[in-house]
Homo-oligomer: A and B are copies of this chain.
Amino acid sequence: VASEKLPRPRPRADELELSGEQMRRLLDAAAKRTIAHVESLPRQPSWATEGGEQLARSLREEMPEEGRPAEELLDLVFEKVIPASLNTAGPGYLAYIPAGGLFQSAVADFVAQATNRYAGVFSVAPGLVALEANVLRWFSQIVGYPRESQGILTTGGSLSNFSALVTARRERLPENFLSGMVYTSDQTHHSVEKAAMLAGFPHGNVRVIGTDETFRIRIPDLESAIAADRRAGKTPFLISANAGTTNTGAVDDLRALADIAEREKLWLHADAAYGGFFALTAEGRRILAGIERADSIVLDPHKSLFLPYGTGCLLVRDGPALKRAHALSADYMPTMQDDPGMPDFNLLSPELSREWRGLRVWLPIKMHGIAAFRRALEEKLALAREAADKLRVMPGIEIVAEPQLSLVAFRANRPGWDVGEANEVNKALLDRINARKRVYMTGTRLGSRFVLRLCVLSFRTHADAVEMALEDIRAALEESS
């Protein structure tokens, strides 16, 4: 047998284990740099990716046989690696959909990782699962879901959309699902199409419906498409509604979509990765009315709950559907149970082993209360509206998408410019704004128009940062005229 081939006695290999003192020293070294870094965020440039390829080449190295001092490694990370990026954690980050990065959540994650208990099965970690289940129940409550709903924490919107699609496929389509049709708008996040691709749907099965002047899906066009597909022998089964698009923050008419889904017996999915937590505010509830009628909802706590990257969520109204789509077990697994109040997360999600994601959500909410998050979200809504008001009166600027949530899209325009000219001007304008490195904004295409977007979502972004963005827009406009 193989056992005879090994030399004995084998040496005790404990060099990876740190003493209490070594742990303290390592954490102190990391903490000192991290806290100084976070404190300096408002003074850091909004991006610093120049020379990125050169940096990457300089960092390339062979697998190290021997170790290096931690302080030296942390210096490299804090001095060279982290600064050379978009400052996604800073107050001037108004690009894409900003993530937060609450320090409280990072601390919770440290606790979860260093204690390293397994939270995928209730019976082996009832307390860990209970805290995570609390968080999911609170989220259900925020969107107005009933008690029998269930949820999972994921790493982000993409995997949440994927699990939603897999759940809908299981509930609404036969084993041969290849004629199943998904309906999105031309503003839908590409992760929905990607989810369909990963789930095995043929490329042509995602039907893209046009949007109106507020970038909401055109309801009559959706109805016609569904009818046409039925006539052609296709099997409509899912409408993916937007509750806050990435381009403009548009929220589809969720009540109208729920009516159609009900009538046509389709699964209504709401991608509320960006918009969902605005349901904590009165204004958000008004805008998101009808979301509680969706069969599944994607929320990203790392967006509108300000948490660090890697924290997504999927809620399914008919909780057991999540399990029907994801459950599979084996002889070597621990005992599972069936009380939906005490879930075995591995049966509800694609993941088996994974980090205890619940704590990083639970700790900040418990420390501050949900009211603090509500107030922060109210501020973001108001800041975007103020920004829109000021952009609206800025000479040469036209608002292309009024803020529905906390995002405004706009562009420079003048009578006589054709769309190509305008696009060139606006790309140059964006570059000039970002060249100041006080704020960072991004553009997108809306139809043929290139537009600039200003998205207020970081908990670190207040009126001063938005004011700075407006100043830099004004200055860049002046430079270009």
Shortest distance between the CB of A380 and any CB in chain B (Å): 8
A106 CB–B CB distance under 8 Å: yes
Contacts of A369-402 to chain B: CB distance below 8 A: 369-373, 375-376, 378-379, 381-383, 385-386, 388-389, 402
Provide the residues of chain B in CB contact with A363, threshold 8 Å: 70, 73, 77
5 pairs, A vs B, C-beta closer than 8 Å: A10-B379, A10-B386, A56-B133, A73-B363, A246-B330
Interface residues of A in 456-479 (CB under 8 A from B): 459-460, 462-463
6 tightest CB-CB pairs across the interface, nearest first? A101-B116, A310-B355, A52-B126, A200-B200, A10-B382, A81-B127
The answer to whether A193 and B34 touch (CB under 8 A), given A127-B55, A376-B16, A379-B12, is: no
User: Considering only CB atoms, which chain B residue lies closest to A108 in the complex?
Assistant: B30
Given contacts A328-B193, A463-B12, contact A6 B283 (CB under 8 A): yes
Give A56-82 interface residues, CB cut-off 8 Å to B.
56, 59-70, 73-74, 77, 80-82
Instruction: List the one stretch of A153-161, A255-263, A314-322, A425-433 in contact with chain B.
Output: A153-161
- In the bound complex, residues from chain B placing their C-beta under 8 Å from that of A220 are none
* Pairwise interchain contact B15-A86, C-beta atoms closer than 8 A: no
Residue of B with least CB distance to A363: B73
* Chain B residues near A373 (CB-CB < 8 A): 16
Contacts of A200 in B (CB 8 A): 169, 177, 199-201
Residue A289 interfacial (CB < 8 Å): no
A359: chain B residues at CB < 8 Å are: 77
Which residues of A, 162-199, contact B by the 8 Å Cβ criterion? 162, 166, 169, 175-178, 189-191, 193-194, 197-199
Residues A88 and B128 in contact, CB atoms below 8 Å apart: no
Q: Does A378 lie within 8 Å of B10, measured CB to CB?
A: yes
Do A110 and B34 touch (CB < 8 A)? yes
User: Residue A59 contacts which of B127, B329, B381 (CB distance < 8 angstroms)?
Assistant: B127
Query: Do A30 and B110 touch across chains, with their CB atoms under 8 A apart?
Result: yes
Q: B190–A134 contact, CB under 8 A?
A: no
A114-B101, A116-B99, A123-B52 known; A378 vs B283 contact (CB < 8 Å)? no
Q: Does A422 contact B (CB under 8 A)?
A: no
Chain-B contact segment, one of A20-28, A226-234, A411-419: A20-28
Q: Does A436 lie at the interface of the complex (its beta carbon under 8 Å from any beta carbon of B)?
A: no
Scan residues 319-356 of chain A and give those whose CB is less than 8 A from a CB of chain B: 326, 328-334, 339, 341-342, 350-356
A393 to chain B, nearest CB (A): 13
> CB distance B10 to A23 under 8 Å?
no
Residue numbers in B under 8 Å from A375 (CB-CB): 11, 13, 15
Select the stretch in A35-43, A143-151, A236-244 that faces chain B: A35-43
Residue of B nearest to A96 (CB): B332
Query: Chain B nearest CB: distance from A314 CB in Å?
Result: 13
- Give the residues in chain B near A388, CB-CB below 8 Å: 3
- In the bound complex, residues from chain B placing their C-beta under 8 Å from that of A364 are 16
Contact of A402 among B2, B36, B133 (CB under 8 A): B2
Contact A49 B177 (CB under 8 A): no
A69 and B373 CA atoms in complex are apart in Å by 17
Q: B158 to A350, Cβ gap below 8 A?
A: yes
Contact across chains for A16 and B102 when beta carbons are under 8 A apart: yes
Shortest beta-carbon distance from A308 to chain B in Å: 4
Q: How far apart are the CA atoms of A31 and B113 in the complex, in Å?
A: 12
Question: How far apart are the CA atoms of A444 and B332 in the complex, in Å?
Answer: 5
Q: Are A372 and B81 in contact (CB under 8 A)?
A: no
- A114→B330 contact, CB < 8 A: no
Residues of chain B with a CB closer than 8 A to A59's CB: 127, 130-131, 134
Q: A81-B131, A353-B302, A370-B64 are in contact. Are A462 and B176 (CB under 8 A)?
A: no
Closest to A387 in B: B3
**What residues of chain B lie closer than 8 Å to A462, measured between beta carbons?**
12-14
Known contacts A109-B109, A130-B56, A310-B354: A202-B175 contact under CB 8 Å: yes
The answer to whether A389 and B3 touch (CB under 8 A), given A117-B86, A352-B156, is yes
B341 touches A60 (CB 8 A): yes
A85 contacts which chain B residues (CB < 8 A)? 117-118, 124-128
The interface residues of chain B lying within 8 Å CB-to-CB of A27 are 27, 31, 35, 107, 110
Please state if B3 and A385 are interface contacts (CB–CB under 8 Å): yes
